[in-house]
Amino acid sequence: MTTPVKNSLRSSIPLRRHALAACLLPSLLLSGCEDTPTSLGDHTLAIPAATNTAQGKLDASPSRERTYISTLPDENQTIARTRSFPHQRPSATPGDFDPSFEGRNGLRLIGGAAFDSSEAHTGAQSIFLNSPGDAFEAGMTAVEEDQWYTISGYMKLDSVPKPITNILIQVYDKSGRWAYNAADYTFSVSANRKWEEFIAPVYIKRLPGRKLGFLKINIRYKENPDSAQFTDASVWIDDLRVSHAKDSSQLFGFEKPEARTPFTGRRTRIDSLGNWEVFDNGEWSPLFPLIIYPDFQETDWNKYREKGFNTVSQINYPGGAKRATDAGLYWMWDITSYLYSADAFPGSNPSTGDTARLQREFDRFEQETGFDGMLAFYWDNEDLNEWDSVQKITDRLKTLDAAASNEDARRFPIYMNSKHTLANPLFMNDGYSFIDIQGCYVNPMTNPHTKGYQSEWAMFVANDKMARLKSPTGIGVINVPHEGDHIEPLIFAGIARGMRGFAFWRDGYQGKYSIESRAWWPTFRQTTEKIEAMLPLIRQPHWTDWRLESSIPEREDALVIGKRDLDGKRHIILASLSDQQQTVTLTTDEAIDGVYDYFTGDVIAFPEGKSFDFTIEAHGTAVLRLE
């Protein structure tokens, strides 16, 4: 890559190689340290010593403030996968059906669905679904308005690829009349012949003029992936329950996700938490990807860089890659058209699975760009029907990438943005791996696309916590016109939950959604500067051993709260999604001497023992450091 012009952290026009990179932050200079495994919670972190590598010599200068800890191993190390974190299923909310299906009251079988006494997770039987259209209905269960619930159960499959299952959660008023569909999720599990838990979050949002009181669950066999490998299609469901959760952060019975598999590429690498790093100018630099889906009719992409975006997505020809690098931006090659047929994904190239076409385009990119400035291969996954082409293309792409590397090892990860989050164990698990990093939508619960009920943030949390899913969840995507007038609190809410990159879809959508017309555009650079300053904090695990209680229950239309540890200090990330000023009382399990603004160091609250009050403005954000 070409050598960038050096610039300061607060430059209004940072170049790609330095935008949000730790080389700009004195506190993130790589430190020389022994190559010793370090425990951070239940994750094993490898701290590589400064070494000479094939890419160049790493900077071994000592840190002036903080030690930058990488969770990526060197060539001679591996990260040991941890056991699953302890998970206690919350108590079931009483309903009019037996959660273990031992009794048949309150259950309605549809199509070829049947009770099966030969398979059970607990007890003597389960419900068996054998083909598309088979379904069962379980209800009613009493619920309360403005409360979070978890629909969970156990599923067992016996085929690869797996059948796709759908769960529909319907809300009824107290008179028993249907009110709305609260959530409609597509899901699957990772392994054959093993009972695995599935979890679907739902929020019972108040409906004007109606008093809500019940929910009903419908689970159906949706479809089979299109594959020559497909032979059998059996699905068993057991131990279905509805559980009340205090807030969206506690939907899954535990705080810590199972350790994920890092990607150790030669040009891009991603740790087990989902943090990105890029290799530029002979050293690795941390990066918080700020991704724009660009307006391809726009002639000058410098406007994205000037506001703080550092990556362009959905590049499908070398000319687009050159436009990105000329503007000082990283780019992602969109491989979606190689994966889907026109029937499955309208607009896709009909030569689905064509490895010869992939080879030609790969060679063209290599010849015309040298893949300079590339960050990742990009897959927009909105259809689960294809299988053979997905397997063929991702396998071939990995082979091509490794062959083009001087070290005969892959350079770039495959990043999948997923519409069907609960089905993601299909794509990276113990048996096989199509992807290296995943993202999903984090649109606000109040957006019109989901009619104000289904929470996509909760889906981000679900993906992060999902057992046996091996790829980290790193990117949160907000799409127009659902973001409203205030984007900073949405991004901070995602960061509070563990988001380690952000994408906006898109500029120029339908020729009328110009990004310059968004209310947040004039101040977006200030938002990205805050993210730059937060990078040391963002890269830490998004859980802590200390507890935090809030007087305002965490809700995605009110207040989202995150915790971090950094330099031995406790930190709190706050994002208000309310159009009203809110005063919250925050209480920890240890005494607090002072509360300081993370960015300025100013005293901003006066604690009393273990508690303090903090006022956050409507659609405001704050990062607090506790002493």
How many residues does this entry show for the chain?
A: 627
For residue 217, is it within any domain?
Answer: yes
Q: Which residues pair with 181 in a beta bridge?
A: 170
**Picking from 254-258, 408-412, 413-417, 599-603, which range would have the lowest pLDDT averaged per residue?**
254-258
Phi then psi dihedrals of residue 625, to 5 deg: -115, 130
For residue 266, is it within any domain?
Answer: no
Higher per-residue confidence, 543 vs 326: 326
| CA–CA dist 139, 168 (Å, integer) | 12
* Token duo for residue 71: 């969770």
pLDDT confidence tier of residue 460, bands split at 50, 70 and 90: confident
CB within 8 A of 11, min separation 6: which ones? none
**Picking from 171-185, 222-236, 390-404, 563-577, which range would have the lowest pLDDT averaged per residue?**
222-236
For residue 70, is it within any domain?
Answer: no
| CA–CA dist 502, 333 (Å, integer) | 17
- Cα–Cα nearest to 62, from 37, 28, 36, 39: 28
Domain match, 327 and 476 both: yes
Higher per-residue confidence, 132 vs 330: 330
Percent pLDDT > 70 in the chain is 79
pLDDT of 11 strictly over 80: no
Q: Residue 255: its pLDDT value, please?
A: 60
Q: Measured between alpha carbons, how far is residue 147 from residues 200, 228, 335, 384, 469 in Å?
A: 14, 44, 40, 31, 28
For residue 8, is it within any domain?
Answer: no
Q: Is 89 helix (H, G, I), strand (E, B) or coil?
A: coil
Higher per-residue confidence, 160 vs 61: 160
pLDDT of 457 strictly over 90: no
Q: Residue 90: its pLDDT value, please?
A: 65
Q: Residue 408: its pLDDT value, please?
A: 85
| CA–CA dist 212, 533 (Å, integer) | 44
Say which CATH number the domain at 165 has: 2.60.120.260
Domain match, 149 and 169 both: yes
- Average pLDDT for 119-133: 94
**Picking from 13-22, 383-392, 594-603, which range would have the lowest pLDDT averaged per residue?**
13-22
| CA–CA dist 485, 477 (Å, integer) | 16
For the ranges 53-57, 62-66, 115-119, the one whose mean pLDDT is highest: 115-119
CB within 8 A of 448, min separation 6: which ones? 481, 482
Q: Residue 232: its pLDDT value, please?
A: 62
534-555 as b/e: b if 16+ CB within 10 A: bbbbbbbbbbbeeebebebbbb
pLDDT of 33 strictly over 70: no
- Average pLDDT for 568-595: 96
- Cα–Cα nearest to 382, from 424, 352, 436: 424
- Average pLDDT for 282-295: 97
Q: Is 472 helix (H, G, I), strand (E, B) or coil?
A: coil
Domain match, 316 and 454 both: yes
**For residue 532, what are the domain limits?**
284-538
Domain match, 513 and 371 both: yes
- In the block, residue with structure tokens 């425990």: 39
* Token duo for residue 354: 């064509």
pLDDT confidence tier of residue 56, bands split at 50, 70 and 90: very low
Number of domains in the chain: 3
Q: Residue 352: its pLDDT value, please?
A: 72
pLDDT confidence tier of residue 558, bands split at 50, 70 and 90: confident
Q: Residue 432: its pLDDT value, please?
A: 81
Sequence-distant contacts of 399-406: CB under 8 A, at least 24 apart: 400/358, 400/359, 400/362, 401/377, 404/362, 404/366, 404/371, 405/266, 406/54, 406/266
Q: Measured between alpha carbons, how far is residue 589 from residues 86, 247, 505, 570, 592 in Å?
A: 21, 19, 40, 11, 9
pLDDT of 625 strictly over 80: yes
Higher per-residue confidence, 224 vs 315: 315
For residue 418, is it within any domain?
Answer: yes
Q: Share the mean pLDDT of the chain.
A: 81
Domain match, 382 and 246 both: no
pLDDT of 52 strictly over 50: no
What is the bridge-based pairing of β-strands 595-597 and 502-505? Answer: unpaired
pLDDT of 57 strictly over 60: no
Domain match, 230 and 323 both: no
Higher per-residue confidence, 575 vs 17: 575
Q: Residue 23: its pLDDT value, please?
A: 32
Residue 281 near residue 1, CB atoms below 8 Å: yes
pLDDT confidence tier of residue 132, bands split at 50, 70 and 90: confident
Q: Residue 385: its pLDDT value, please?
A: 78
For residue 376, is it within any domain?
Answer: yes
**Picking from 288-297, 405-414, 446-455, 555-564, which range would have the lowest pLDDT averaged per residue?**
446-455
| CA–CA dist 22, 474 (Å, integer) | 18
pLDDT of 44 strictly over 50: no
Domain match, 426 and 525 both: yes
Say which CATH number the domain at 529 has: 3.20.20.80
CB within 8 A of 143, min separation 6: which ones? 93, 149, 171, 204, 212, 213, 214, 215, 242, 244
Residue 581 near residue 613, CB atoms below 8 Å: no
| CA–CA dist 72, 269 (Å, integer) | 8
Domain match, 482 and 533 both: yes
pLDDT in tens, 160-182: 677 789 999 999 999 999 999 88
Residue 212 near residue 173, CB atoms below 8 Å: yes
**Picking from 155-164, 272-281, 588-597, which range would have the lowest pLDDT averaged per residue?**
155-164
pLDDT of 26 strictly over 70: no
Domain boundary among 250, 270, 299: 250
Domain match, 557 and 520 both: no
Q: Residue 211: its pLDDT value, please?
A: 96
Q: Positive or negative, the Cα torsion across 458, 418, 184, 192? A: negative
- Average pLDDT for 449-471: 71
CB atoms closer than 10 angstroms to residue 557: 16
Domain match, 403 and 528 both: yes
pLDDT of 53 strictly over 50: no
Q: Measured between alpha carbons, how far is residue 607 from residues 545, 575, 581 in Å?
A: 20, 20, 20
Domain match, 200 and 135 both: yes
Chain-centre distance for alpha carbon 456: 10
pLDDT confidence tier of residue 557, bands split at 50, 70 and 90: confident
For residue 174, is it within any domain?
Answer: yes
Q: Residue 79: its pLDDT value, please?
A: 32
Q: Write the Ramachandran bin of 310: left for phi over 0, alpha for psi from -120 to 50, otherwise beta.
A: alpha
Q: Residue 446: its pLDDT value, please?
A: 61
Higher per-residue confidence, 467 vs 539: 539
- In the block, residue with structure tokens 């649109």: 443
pLDDT in tens, 62-113: 222 322 233 333 333 223 333 334 456 667 788 889 889 998 889 999 999 9
For residue 37, is it within any domain?
Answer: no
Higher per-residue confidence, 136 vs 47: 136
In degrees, rounded to 5, the angle at the alpha carbon of residue 72 between the alpha carbons of residues 68 and 74 is 110
Domain match, 218 and 117 both: yes
Q: Which amino acid belongs to residue 270?
A: I
- Cα–Cα nearest to 625, from 552, 534, 503: 534
- Average pLDDT for 116-138: 95
Torsion of CA 34, 38, 44, 46, to 10 degrees: -20
